[in-house]
């Protein structure tokens, strides 16, 4: 997994690329990025499957905010990103959400 941030100073946004490797999501058919930025809608933000079997997605975020998120694999499995800036309790027993700070 990786998260790459690119700040666009002229627009006050941060362009963030989320990547999930083939090894991190073996045999995955779909991966969705789900979080506060899309009201936790499970199918709204699909990641694009790459030729090498990994998944990637780039989104623009307003600078000066934090966004909780998780990856949703094949509409069954939730995982966090170990490269997240921090983690917060999800409200569900024993689970946290990844957080990106931009």
Q: List the CATH number of the domain containing 11.
A: 2.60.40.10
Domains of the chain: total = 1
Separation CA 22–CA 102 (nearest Å): 26
Question: Does residue 47 surpass a pLDDT of 80?
Answer: yes
Res 91: pLDDT: 84
Separation CA 30–CA 53 (nearest Å): 11
Question: Does residue 10 surpass a pLDDT of 90?
Answer: no
For the entire predicted model, the pTM comes to 0.92
Mean pLDDT of the chain, nearest integer: 94
Task: Tell me which residue range forms the domain holding 55.
Answer: 2-101
- 54-96 pLDDT, tens digit per residue, is 999 999 999 999 999 999 999 999 999 989 999 999 888 889 9
């Amino acid at each position: 997994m990786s998260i790459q941030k690119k700040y666009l100073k002229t627009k006050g946004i941060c362009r963030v690329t989320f990547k999930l490797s083939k090894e991190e999501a073996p045999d995955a058919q779909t991966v969705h990025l789900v979080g506060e930025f899309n009201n936790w809608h499970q199918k709204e933000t699909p990641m694009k499957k790459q030729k090498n079997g990994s998944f990637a997605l780039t989104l623009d975020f307003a600078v000066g905010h934090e966004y909780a998120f998780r990856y949703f694999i094949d509409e069954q499995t939730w995982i966090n990103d170990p490269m997240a800036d921090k983690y917060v309790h999800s409200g569900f027993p024993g689970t946290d959400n990844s957080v990106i700070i931009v």
